[in-house]
Structure formats: C-alpha cells, structure tokens
Amino acid sequence: MSKIRIAVDAMGGDRAPYEIVLGALEGAREHDIDLILVGPQASVESEVAKLDTSSLDLQIVNAPETIEMGEHPMAAVRQKKDSSIVVGTRLVKDGRADAFLSAGNSGAMMAAAFLLLGRITGVERPAIGTVFPTRDGKVFLIDVGANVECRPQHLRDFALMANIYVQQVLGVPVPRVALLSTGEEDEKGTPTIQEAHALLRGAEHLNFVGNCDAKDIPLGFADIVVSDGFAGNIVLKMGEGTAEVVLQLLKREMLHNTMTKMAAMLLKPGLKRMLRRLDYEEYGGAPLLGVNGVSIISHGRSGQKAIRNAVGVGKRAVEHNLVQLIEREMA
C-alpha cells in the first residue's frame, strides 16, 4: 500500500517559509508520509536545499502566487488561481494529495475548500475546530471563526461533526459535548442558544452534558464546546491572550532581583512542563469539518513544531476516513 500523501503550504503563516518547511520535513519523517511542498518553485527549492531530506519522498509543486493574511478570502481565491492555497486545495480535489495543510489566511483556506472541494451532502455550514489546552487535558472548540452567525441546526451539525473528529482522530471514546452560553442553566443565552440546546438534548449519538459557562472551559468541563464562530473566536483569543499576560507578569516578577532569578532557575523544569501544557503548537492544527476532503488549518503563528504536529493531524484524519464518517453521520 502506498503512503499517505500530505501537501503543505510552504508560504503560509508568519514564520514561512523556513520554519514551515522544516516542520513539514520533520513531520513527514515522524509520521512516515509522502510530502508535497506547495509554493514558488525556486523559493521552496532553496529552503529545501538547506535541510536534510534523506529518506523522504518529497515533491515540490509550483505555486508562484501567495495570498497574504489581510486579503479578502473569497476574492483572493478567485483571482489568485496559482496561489499556494488554491494549488494545494486542488491537489486534494484531484486526488493527487490526501490532505492539504496551511498556516496562511484561514479565510482563504475555507473559501478554497468551499469552492474546490465542496461541502459534504447534508452539511450546510462547514466549521473550523481547534484543540485548546485545559488544566488537565484538552478541549475541541467548534466553530472558531468560519461562521460568525449561526442557526440552531448549524450548531447541532457542528457538534455531530466534532463528535466524530474527537472520537476518531483525538481518541476520546465518548466525548462530553457542551454548548457555550452565559451560564449552565438550560434557559440561559440567546433564543438561538436555547433552540440549539433542545436540538442537542435530542440528538442521538451525542453525550450532551448541557450548557457551559466560558469559565468552565479551561477547567475541562467538556471535551467538545460548541458555539458560533464569533463567540468561539473570543474564547480562543481571550484564552490565548490571558495566558500570555499571566505568564508575562510572572516573568516580570521573576526578573525582579537576584533572589527571584534564583527562584526562576529552581522552577525552570516545572515552568517548562507548564508552558508545554499551554502550548497550542502541541496540537498543530485542525481540519475544516464538513468539506469533501481533508483541509487542515494551522494557527498563523505556527512554528516548526506546530507544522510537524499538524502533519500528524492530517495523517490521522486520512487514516480514519474522517470525510466518509462525517458523510455517513450527516446523511
């Protein structure tokens, strides 16, 4: 049997191309896949030349254009047909790659997946999920930005798709599913949330544990938290921002004087463990759920480690037939 083939956008993300290419090569080796790097031929070749590619089955596919972070997603995808995001997504559509991953413009990734791969039958709104660290484990948030406004049945669909992803790819046998609201009481939240609550309560195949408050998320109240993309984006960003600020304040106190610097040295292994726990790079990225193909969206700030891990996410999504399982669930 031939290996799984994963295409990586060499130009996507704040740290492209060097760290992306490095992470992709490491990921290919670690996860034993065939790698396709997508980007301007000469630039990608010169990056690859700096690195060790021994024992790798590596191919470069030329994509001379690049979609920048600030560009309007749909317009950019329509106009820049030779961009890495469009070319990479087309590789999946044409069956030349099993998955495509990018840390570039996530809106453009979504637009390309919509236009080229299309939606799975029964899915009105594909959604972006992401894995987020909690105190003692992790949570899968969906949607974190694809749909700023949602109807109740969209939220139910997100839960069903996420349930398959978390079971199959993250290996949680019976994920606890919660609906984000302003409190745990059933009647809290907007009319949309109240209706979604009833739909989730009635959904077979789901271990729905009720509404959750944002405060419950970092404590690990659920394995899956469902919300529209506006609220989900706020959860994600507020979590990242707050953790960063608390750590900055801690660092400031540790640099206070000789005694505190000594304390920081004694705590170093523990702090490292803690940072690793809070590090989104551990999770690499997450697929756009609901499209006809595996399209992995990584954080714009992804470095080498995130991309290496995102290659693993892509491999597991392909191995576990994520698209086919979602198709069956939503039929």
Residues that bind a copy of itself (CB under 8 A): 70, 134-135, 145, 148-149, 180, 182, 185, 189-191, 213-219, 229-231, 233-250, 253-254, 256, 259-260, 262-267, 270-271, 273-274, 277-278
Instruction: CB nearer to a copy of itself: give 37 or 196.
Output: 196
Instruction: CB nearer to a copy of itself: give 105 or 167.
Output: 105
Angle at 149 between CA 147 and CA 154, to 5 degrees: 70
Distance CA 304, CA 7 (A): 16
Nearest approach, Cβ of residue 171 and a copy of itself (Å): 23
Let me know how long the chain is. Answer: 331
Cβ pair 317, 152 in contact under 8 A: no
Instruction: CB nearer to a copy of itself: give 21 or 177.
Output: 177
Structure tokens at 145: 């930005």
Nearest approach, Cβ of residue 51 and a copy of itself (Å): 32
Query: Which string of DSSP letters, residue by residue, matches 175-225?
Result: -EEEEE-SSSSTT-S-HHHHHHHHHHHH-TT-EEEEEE-TTHHHHT--SEE
Instruction: CB nearer to a copy of itself: give 174 or 246.
Output: 246
Query: Which string of DSSP letters, residue by residue, matches 118-155?
Result: -BPTT-SS-EEEEEEE-SSSEEEEE-SSS-SS--HHHH
Largest CA distance in the chain: 64
Nearest approach, Cβ of residue 224 and a copy of itself (Å): 17
Nearest approach, Cβ of residue 69 and a copy of itself (Å): 10
Phi, psi of 171 (to 5 degrees): 75, 30
Distance CA 28, CA 10 (A): 14
Instruction: CB nearer to a copy of itself: give 71 or 98.
Output: 71
Distance CA 233, CA 160 (A): 20
Nearest approach, Cβ of residue 319 and a copy of itself (Å): 32
Instruction: CB nearer to a copy of itself: give 174 or 275.
Output: 275
Nearest approach, Cβ of residue 320 and a copy of itself (Å): 30
69: helix, coil or strand? Answer: coil
